[in-house]
Structure formats: structure tokens, C-alpha cells
Amino acid sequence: MNLFINNLLNGLWFHNQNKLLLVFLLPISFLYFISIITVKLLYRLGILKRYVSKLPIIIIGNITVGGNGKTPITIWLTKYITEKYKIRVGVVSSGYNSQTTSPVLVNSNSTTKEVGDEAIELYQALSNIAIIISGGNRIDATKKLEELNKCDLIIHDDGMQHYRLKSNLTIETNSKNSNEVMNLILPAGPYRDFNIGSFLEMHKNYITVSFNQNDNKNIYSFSYDLLIWDSKTNNVIELEKIIKLSENSINLITSVANSERIFNMLKKYFTTINHRSFPDHYRYNDEDVNFKNKNLVITTMKDYVKLSELTDNQLYVLSNKVTPNNEFINCLEKHLKEFLI
């Protein structure tokens, strides 16, 4: 049922399909719109109080549902700040679709079921340089990191819509072509939030970045590095070698919001792609990873942290490494110097 609903909404939001749904969804979207305006107004008037951390806060988020590259940017930014400014960073993950209901410290024994797939992805990438917290609300997670007294700055992977938490810098990510997106708020469209003027803007210091190389409206951008990691040998494999090994036929398994981007990227290199696509944060079972053919299996790093708990089969994992353009780095530095120096 969840997969059916997910496909219906994705068709409406991103493919100009299933427009009859708007008859039922637009009234709900209107009520949601009014509720957001009301909450923002209460915060701006000071009736609802915002939490100001004693540590600098950076939020990486997006105003549309689904994957927009938040976690890869979080990983890049944590490494960048740690290396350049020689400070300790704490990272907060939402713990979405996990068992945790309060903030927990992610460690080597944590599982995706306990703390969420993104928390494990962050831990595997950053455990040697950062503290990873998962679950609970954003304020409680921030307070937990403050109490631990082991970091100098906190980065929130997601959290733009948690208006109670005040940030020093917000980075909004976007990986979708705006011309192909239903320009409506949830549930009629994919937008979780909107910009309707500076008075109701919850985040003052703001950078908007894009993964869409054709986005002429935005000068700040990131690009994915096309690297593939072999889970058996723990080595990065050149794409040419993968193509040769696969004989141009692969299995692809994903449970990310923007799986089309991955499919279209791989379609340039492989003739036949047997793609099993599941909803974002989907929890796999044994049958999902049981392919009847002998083709190589390619997946994402976010999916690998879940699949590796089910199988020790050889998987070829797309890197979550991203690279920003110089314009973004220059803009980022101007903001960082306001609260790190």
C-alpha cells in the first residue's frame, strides 16, 4: 500500500500525472499552508520562543520532500570545517524510520533499525572526526551535544522546518528541475515550506545550492563524483572496469527519493538495468535482494548500510562524495567567518 501511494504521489509531483488527485489534496494543502503561516507568525511575534544554542548551528535542509543531497553535503561540510578550522563538529541526524524516540549517540554497534539509515551513513563517513547523534527532536539533540561538551559546532542534517531552532547558517539543497515539479505545498505538491517574504523567513543567513547543472538561476552548485566502491575488496573500482565486468548488464537496487537521477546517470554506461526501486527509507527484506540473474548489483551508500545487515554478497556501491564549485566555497567562507573566527 505504501509503495502504491508513493508511486501515485511521485507521479503527481514530478511527472505531471494523476492530476485528479488534486481535487482531494488541494483542500488539505490549503489547511497546511495556513498552519505554516500561523506557526511562523507566532515565532516572529515572539509568542513562541526559539532556542538559541551556545554553539554555532548550521542546518542543511530542503523545502521539498525527498532526497536533495543533504547527507552528502553534511559529510563534505563536516570534513571541510574540521580540516580548515581545526574544530570539533557534532552532527545531528533525524533518525527517521528508526526505533529511537530520543537523541542517542551513534556508535559502532548501532544498526539502521535502531538509529536510521542516514545516521549509519554519517557514522561510517565521519566517526573518526565527528560525534553523531540520531533521533528525538532537534532541540533535545542540540542540548545533548552541548552537555557532552565535545564539539565546537553543530551541523543538522535536515531540520529547516524545525523553526524553533535558530541557526547561524542554513544551506538549502535542491536536486530537482523546478520546471518538472508540481509547484504546490504538501500534499498536493512536494513542497514542505515556502518563501513568502522576509518577515516570515525563519532562517536569515541562507545559501541555496543546486545539484542540477542546468539550473541557471543558482550560481552555487555541487556535483556527485562518479566513484564505485567494492564492498568485498574495500577498493574503489574504475567505472571502465565495472562496465567490462558487467558486460553492460547490471542490477540496481535503491530506496532513495530521487532514484531516477541514479538510473539516468547509469543508463549512459549500461545497456540493461534491472532496477528495483523502493520508497525512501524502505526497510529491506531477504527477498528484495534475491536476484535470479548473475549480474553485478549496484546500490547507493544509503542503501548499502541497510543491505549489508541482510547479506554479505558483493555489492558495488555508488560513492556519496560530492564536490562544490568555487562560488559556493567563497560564499560559505564569508558566512563561516562571522561565527567561527
Q: Do 258 and 125 reside in the same domain of the chain? A: no
Low-confidence ranges of the chain (pLDDT < 50): 1
What separation, in Å, do the N-terminal and C-terminal C-alpha atoms of the chain show?
A: 52
The H helix count followed by the E strand count for the chain is: 10, 15
Task: Give me the pLDDT at residue 281, please.
Answer: 86
> Is residue 17 assigned to a domain?
no
Confirm whether 112 is domain-assigned: yes
Please enumerate in sequence order all residues whose Cβ is within 8 A of that of 82, keeping only pairs 6 or more positions apart, or say none: 88, 89, 129, 130
Domain shared by 107 and 186, yes or no: yes
Domain that holds residue 334: 57-223+323-340
Residue 268 in domain: yes
Task: Tell me which DSSP letter residue 257 carries.
Answer: T
13, part of any domain: no
Q: Is residue 35 part of a domain?
A: no
Whether residue 85 is found in the same domain as residue 119: yes
Shared domain check, 291 and 248: yes
Kindly state whether residue 39 falls inside one of the protein's structural domains.
no
pLDDT tens sequence across 220-273: 999 988 899 999 999 999 889 999 999 999 999 999 887 888 999 999 999 999
CATH code assigned at 138:
3.40.50
Same domain, 232 and 270: yes
Domain count of the chain?
2
160 lies in the same domain as 236: no
Same domain as 191, residue 98: yes
Is residue 33 situated within a structural domain? no
Same domain, 264 and 153: no
Continuous H helices in 16-57 = 22-44
Task: Please check whether residues 133 and 183 belong to one and the same domain.
Answer: yes
pLDDT attached to residue 177: 63
- Same domain, residue pair 243 and 327: no
Which pLDDT value is given to residue 178? 61
Q: Do 177 and 263 sit in the same domain of this protein?
A: no
Domain contains 335:
yes
What is the b/e burial string over 1-38, where b = at least 16 CB atoms within 10 angstroms of the residue's CB?
eeeeebeebbebbbeeeeeebbeebeeebeebbeebee
Q: What is the pLDDT of residue 8?
A: 85
Q: Indicate if 237 and 115 belong to the same structural domain.
A: no
pTM recorded for the entire structure: 0.93
